[in-house]
């Protein structure tokens, strides 16, 4: 991949994804976009994985190993309290280029695996709707699961702040992990059902490179993928990781398309399956996305199946509900996710866009 394309990605990331939510990463990405030497570090990654977040995760992983370096003062996730100033970029640039060989090694051997547990609050209403339609315990199958933290969504408590209805809560009352989310209602939409209990009879994850949280280095990489000026996300990740270590789900190494059916067959026969994807299809090509949807249909022909997707519109729901310009960010707007629910009736997909969302769990706009 050319350095010029990487610089374009960095510039776009600074002006959209990081703008208004991460002053540190917006600043670093904007500066890196004008620095071919720094941007060139990302050429060590395969094209689909050469993202700004991978560059920043590698830098934070390096900094984790040097906790007394002055740069940690700018990393709230590492205890720093400094805001962006004139020294931030020169210091950061010097840090990564002095360790360029190690940076390239990390970038070449890792991908961004942001196992953002706050996304559980965004998909919980959709999974609850699927479970209600299934009329019984469901089996969760997360494709692109990373460490599988979303597979524990029935074990977390939820608090949604709704302008029209005040605070709406769900999940177990005494859950050790509580998640908060702002819930907006679109025109004509009703507050979704947020049950206290979601009956999950089995759970399994499928990933090309699943993360074992018992592996300290693997867990540290997931922590490094959290944006460095968002320490609340780190706190929630560490809590969720500790919970998961007590009762880890089965995680299968395999391909999202080729190994989907075999993974589903590992779940109890006769139990309805809810397949969950969250920013997983981002890394698949257009032909593979179509093949993934076809693979879902093949499984659905053999057993009841619902697909809850938390993806960019063009990566998922756009294939089944085309022509929805309202589900695509306009020029200059920050991208957003679409929560979709699909089930198959008589072999035909019934697709419902349920909500739009931020990428890290902060906001949900319910549409139905």
Q: pLDDT tens, 89-98?
A: 999 999 999 9
- 208 and 309 inside one domain: yes
Q: Is the pLDDT of residue 245 over 80?
A: yes
Rounded mean pLDDT of 164-178? 93
Write down the pLDDT at residue 333.
78
* Closest residue by Cα to residue 268 from 180, 96, 136, 93: 136
Q: Which two tokens stand for residue 161?
A: 């702040």
- 86 and 179 inside one domain: no
What is the tally of structural domains in the chain? 2
- 100 and 158 inside one domain: no
Q: For residue 43, tell me if it sits in a domain.
A: yes
- 329 and 362 inside one domain: yes
Q: For residue 182, tell me if it sits in a domain.
A: yes
Q: Is the pLDDT of residue 164 over 90?
A: no
How confident is residue 17, by pLDDT bands cut at 50, 70 and 90? confident
Phi, psi of 123 (to 5 degrees): -95, -15
- 182 and 261 inside one domain: yes
Q: For residue 126, tell me if it sits in a domain.
A: yes
Q: Is the pLDDT of residue 319 over 90?
A: yes
Rounded mean pLDDT of 36-42? 98
Q: Is the pLDDT of residue 44 over 90?
A: yes
- 166 and 267 inside one domain: yes
Among candidate residues 109, 136, 171, the one where a domain is terminated: 109
Rounded mean pLDDT of 228-238? 95
Q: Is the pLDDT of residue 335 over 80?
A: yes
Rg, the chain, Cα only: 20
Write down the pLDDT at residue 332.
72
- Bridge partners, 274 (sequence order): 140, 306
Among candidate residues 75, 109, 143, the one where a domain is terminated: 109
Q: What's 301's DSSP letter?
A: T
Q: For residue 282, tell me if it sits in a domain.
A: yes
- 276 and 346 inside one domain: yes
- 101 and 131 inside one domain: no
User: Which helix (H) or strand (E) is 48 found in, with range?
Assistant: none
pLDDT mean across residues, the chain: 96
- 308 and 168 inside one domain: yes
The 3-state DSSP class for residue 331 equals: coil
**Do residues 57 and 110 make contact, with C-beta atoms less than 8 angstroms apart?**
yes
Rounded mean pLDDT of 266-289? 96
Q: For residue 236, tell me if it sits in a domain.
A: no
Rounded mean pLDDT of 13-31? 94
Residue 125 structural domain: 119-213+248-366
- 269 and 300 inside one domain: yes
- 79 and 162 inside one domain: no
- 134 and 103 inside one domain: no
Write down the pLDDT at residue 163.
86
Which pTM does this prediction carry?
Answer: 0.90
Phi, psi of 140 (to 5 degrees): -90, 135
Write down the pLDDT at residue 198.
97
Q: For residue 94, tell me if it sits in a domain.
A: yes
Among candidate residues 83, 109, 135, the one where a domain is terminated: 109
């Amino acid at each position: 991949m050319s350095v010029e394309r990487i610089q374009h990605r960095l510039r776009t990331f600074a002006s959209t994804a990081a703008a208004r939510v991460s002053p540190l990463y917006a600043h670093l990405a904007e500066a890196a976009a004008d620095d071919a030497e720094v941007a060139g570090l990302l050429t060590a990654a395969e094209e689909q994985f050469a993202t700004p977040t991978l560059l920043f995760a590698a830098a934070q992983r390096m900094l984790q190993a040097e906790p007394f370096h002055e740069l940690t003062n700018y990393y709230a996730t590492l205890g720093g309290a400094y805001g962006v100033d004139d020294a931030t970029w020169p210091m950061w640039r010097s840090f990564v280029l002095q360790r360029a060989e190690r940076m390239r090694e990390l970038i070449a051997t890792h991908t961004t695996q942001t196992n953002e547990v706050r996304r559980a609050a965004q998909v919980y209403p959709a999974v609850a709707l699927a479970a209600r339609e299934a009329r019984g315990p469901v089996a969760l199958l997360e494709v692109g699961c990373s460490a599988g933290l979303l597979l524990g969504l029935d074990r977390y408590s939820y608090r949604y702040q709704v302008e029209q209805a005040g605070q709406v809560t769900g999940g177990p009352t005494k859950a050790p992990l509580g998640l908060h989310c702002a819930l907006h209602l679109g025109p004509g939409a009703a507050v979704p059902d947020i049950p206290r209990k979601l009956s999950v009879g089995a759970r399994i994850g499928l990933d090309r490179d699943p993360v074992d949280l018992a592996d300290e280095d693997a867990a540290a990489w997931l922590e490094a993928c959290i944006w460095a000026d968002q320490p609340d996300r780190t706190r929630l990740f560490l809590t969720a990781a500790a919970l998961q270590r007590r009762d880890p789900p089965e995680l299968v190494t395999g391909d999202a398309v080729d190994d989907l059916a075999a993974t589903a067959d590992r779940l109890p026969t006769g139990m309805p399956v809810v397949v969950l994807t969250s920013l997983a299809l981002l890394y698949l090509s257009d032909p593979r996305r179509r093949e993934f949807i076809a693979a879902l249909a093949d499984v659905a022909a053999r057993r009841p199946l619902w697909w809850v997707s938390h993806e960019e519109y063009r990566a998922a729901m756009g294939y089944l509900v085309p022509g929805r310009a309202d589900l695509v960010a306009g020029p200059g707007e920050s991208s957003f996710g679409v929560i979709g629910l699909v089930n198959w009736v008589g072999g035909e997909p019934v697709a419902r866009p349920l909500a739009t969302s931020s990428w890290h769990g902060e906001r949900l706009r319910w549409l139905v």
